[in-house]
Amino acid sequence: MKNKSWIQIVGFLLFIVIIPLGSYYYLKRGYDYRKKAMENMQNLGPLPNMDFTTIDGRKVVADSLQGRMVIASAMSLARKDEAKEFGELMVKLSDQFEETGRLVLLSFGTNPQSDDQAALKAFAQQYDLLNKPLVYWIPADSSGMDRVVDQLYFPESNNEGYPYFALCDTSQIVQKHYPINDMEAIREMVTYTAMFLPLKPRKKVVFKRETEK
């Protein structure tokens, strides 16, 4: 009987003290991490006014990106090594966030050595990313690419090969750049994307009356 009382006391203390303290610790830790992530954002400026057509015929306008996060990029496909690394990263990002419905991978591509649209389409097909709903491939010539680089606030060093991702929030503000060849930076980008990504709306459950079944 005495042992049973001790067990009840320990269980009671666990319920009213230990579990709440543990919950508070993990909630506080999550809050601190999110706060730190917010402080790391740089608010570089808004995305340019969108009015583009993808290589598969989809229109990209500001309204189509409303309420969605964007990871934008600009890539010269003539730079083979960087293009390969970029393609592999795009596959991983597509696979990880495909089901969310709240992220757009917006990729501008150029190839000075051939037709830009044909080259970008071949590149997308090579990585099986041509018909992915969240991936938007937009061809650009050299002058168009220079404008994109400026409008995405990429660093000057980016002008040679465009090896960056630009993370944009749901307000279409470019928040931070991530070099494609820095895996630690890419992991941070993925973590922050998952953290701030809006939840996909759930379908409402409709209960039918007995006579409607």
pLDDT of residue 28: 46
Residues 129, 159, single domain; the answer is yes
Nearest-angstrom CA–CA distance, 145 and 74:
7
Q: Is residue 201 part of a domain?
A: no
Please, are residues 120 and 77 in contact by the beta-carbon 8 Å criterion? yes
The strands making up 69-76's β-sheet, listed across from edge to edge, are 45-46, 173-179, 164-168, 69-76, 103-110, 135-139
Residues 4, 30, single domain; the answer is yes
Residues 49, 10, single domain; the answer is no
Q: Is residue 167 part of a domain?
A: yes
Give the residue numbers spanning the domain of 10: 1-40
pLDDT of residue 148: 84
Low-confidence ranges of the chain (pLDDT < 70): 1-42, 156-162, 199-213
Burial tier of 28 (Cβ tally within 10 Å: 0-12, 13-18, 19+): exposed
Over the range 41-77, which residues count as b (16 or more CB within 10 Å of their CB) and which as e? Answer: eeebeebbebebebbeeeebeeeebeebbbbbbbbbb
Q: Is residue 174 part of a domain?
A: yes
Give me the number of domains the chain comprises: 2
Q: Is residue 24 part of a domain?
A: yes
Give the start-end residues of each E strand in the chain: 45-46, 51-53, 59-61, 69-76, 103-110, 135-139, 164-168, 173-179
pLDDT of residue 102: 86
pLDDT of residue 63: 80
Residues 36, 53, single domain; the answer is no
Residues 113, 26, single domain; the answer is no
pLDDT of residue 87: 93
Residues 21, 49, single domain; the answer is no
pLDDT of residue 89: 94
Q: Which CATH number covers residue 140?
A: 3.40.30.10
Q: At which of 40, 55, 71 does a domain end?
A: 40
Is the pTM value of this prediction over 0.85? Answer: no
pLDDT of residue 167: 92
Residues 11, 57, single domain; the answer is no
Q: Is residue 105 part of a domain?
A: yes
